Amino acid sequence: MKNNLLILATTFTILASTGTSIAQAPTLGTTVNFVLFTSAGAVSNIGTSQITGNVGTNSGSSTAFGNVNGQMHDNDLVSAAAATDLTTAYNQLNGTTPTAFPAPLLGNGTTMNAGVYSIAGATTLNLNLTLNGQGNANAVFIFKIQGSFSANAGARVILTNGVKACNVFWKIEGLVSMAAGSTMRGTIIANNAAINMNAQDTLEGRALSINGAVTVNGVMAYTPIGCGSPVLTGPAAPNLASTGCYAIFSANGPVTNTGITSAIGDVGTNVGLCTGFNTLTIAGTVHPIPDGSTAACAADLLNIYNYLNTLPSDIELLYPAQFGGNLVLTPHTYIMKAATTLTDTLFLNGLNNPNAVFVIQINGSLSTSTYAKVILKNGTQAKNVYWKVDGAVNINNYSVFKGTIVANNGAIALNTGVNLDGRALTTNGALATNASTVNINGACGSLGFASLTSTVDLVRITPNPFSALIRVTLVDASLVNLAQLNVVNVLGEVVLTTTLTKEVTSLETSHLPSGIYFYKVTGNNKVIQSGRLISQQ
């Protein structure tokens, strides 16, 4: 008996280790865009889930999802097509010929190679299951489970050596249940049974049922990329023209500041006065009254608004008052058709494309909670993020915001401690800042950013006093004639200065009192670079 068991175990090991990509991926059709779907049954969410991909049912309703990074399709033409395509994909998977017959307990540190695996009954995933593509980016894995499937708490499917989640498929004849904290990769197709995902579960793939409810509870689920799926780049970015050099601007209204605000970029208004800004903490030109530059900016701003306003939207976020809450967005044009409140955190995922563009159209006002955050991940750059707002904008205290804000007929308030990596621009309305930091993103020729790079290294000698080293590198020294670097305190007093005549110049400060300082580089009668140097509590 022992010899027979040894032969069987050896046979399975050989099959698993020598499997090749002989499995054929099914044709998903319109289901490729769905992350959660059932042909018949309810699709429901409990708690806060992060969902990327379409959600829907062809016979039932989808409930309690909040904002989803995808489209909702219940009982419509899209869901009808998905139901048909899901049956086709199921039949294709069901008709594949098995290459191996593993035991019904998967995982426990096992590694499996590409192939078609058939399991006779109810199956459990425990601990880690590693799928090894053996360097083949087209390696396909198909698991045909002739019973229910469960993933124990913390169980994980791990992809290595080129495997893509879009090439992993689970055809299950029964209930699918994922315990808390488990991670699944691949497209799950349950036949005549429900799919349940629990708290802190992760699904990189799809959960699709031919006939059964799909229920998620505080999960992260997202459609996989690759395998011919379109590369998301978002829409084309607008031409900023002269507005590219402005950090803070109103085409028609006063621009005022209280407290110590620093900015990289110009500041001004085309109708009214610009007051309260300390030019020593602004790396750019402060335009106290309208001039030719502000007139050009006002005209260009209207063009930008019209462009952003008429872009066709890809995804409607259905709950503007519940914006944020760890929602993850990908490169698209989004629309919200009412006043919007950003609470907690919003993630913008560039999918490793540094040129990906995000446009968020808000047909109403925009406000944030205190300490709200927009976080850029996987290559997203603030210069490629645009907010079109039809109404007032109120960025609350100590919020961190990313992107160019274009408000139409609404005031903008950047409150205490706000950090905006982008621009605050309004076509018509007052603009107020209060001890804020606003830095434009991207090149601006009038500021000379393309000709200079700088780093600031802080070295604490003792808690007080301290010293810091500024290193400035002029990429093309000919662009700057006798550039000067100044360090100023919050009162605008110059505490250190030096003339930059070499291609690499450094200035060391020493024994400064505790406080906040700014550095500013000027040359050829223009500001080249500026920023906050030291912030010590």
Q: Is the overall model pTM greater than 0.85, yes or no?
A: no
First to last CA, the chain: 74
Give me the sign of the Cα torsion angle 78, 79, 85, 89.
positive
Q: What is the pLDDT of residue 379?
A: 94
Residue 477, classed as helix, strand or coil, is helix
Tokens of 109: 């540190």
Q: How far are the Cα atoms of 49, 50, 171, 229 from residue 220, in angstroms, in the given order?
A: 6, 5, 21, 20
Residue 498, classed as helix, strand or coil, is strand
Residue 205 near residue 51, CB atoms below 8 Å: no
Q: What is the pLDDT of residue 501?
A: 54
Cα–Cα distance for residue pair 482/500, rounded to 1 Å: 6
Side-chain-side CA neighbours of residue 167 (13 Å):
25
Strands 262-264 and 282-283, sheet pairing: parallel
Q: What is the pLDDT of residue 481?
A: 53
Output the DSSP codes for 98-126: PSB---SEEETTEEEESEEEEE-S-EEEE
- What DSSP designation does 93 have? H
Q: What is the pLDDT of residue 529?
A: 59
Q: Mind listing the domains of the chain with CATH numbers?
A: 2-222 (no CATH), 241-438 (no CATH), 448-535 (2.60.40.1930)
Contacts of 10 (CB under 8 A, 6+ apart): none
Q: Give 197-244 as a 3 state SS string.
A: ECCCCEEEEEEEECCCCEEEECCEEECCCCCCCCCCCCCCCCCCHHHH
Q: How far are the Cα atoms of 303, 314, 390, 407, 432 from residue 306, in angstroms, in the given order?
A: 5, 18, 11, 11, 24
In 3D space, the residue among 441, 412, 393 whose CA is nearest the CA of residue 269 turns out to be 412
Residue 50 near residue 220, CB atoms below 8 Å: yes
Q: pLDDT tens track of the chain, all 537 residues?
A: 444 433 333 333 333 433 444 788 999 999 999 999 999 999 999 988 999 999 999 999 999 999 999 999 999 999 999 999 999 999 999 999 999 999 999 999 999 999 999 999 999 999 999 999 999 999 999 999 999 999 999 999 999 999 999 999 999 999 999 999 999 999 999 999 999 999 999 999 999 999 999 999 999 999 999 898 888 999 999 999 889 889 999 999 999 999 999 988 899 999 999 999 998 888 788 999 999 989 999 999 999 999 999 999 999 999 999 999 999 999 999 999 999 999 999 999 999 999 999 999 999 999 999 999 999 999 999 999 999 999 999 999 999 999 999 999 999 999 999 999 999 999 999 999 999 999 887 656 544 433 344 444 443 333 444 455 555 554 444 444 556 777 776 666 777 777 765 444 455 555 556 555 666 666 655 555 565 554 443
Side-chain-side CA neighbours of residue 388 (13 Å):
25
Contacts of 199 (CB under 8 A, 6+ apart): 47, 180, 181, 217, 218, 219
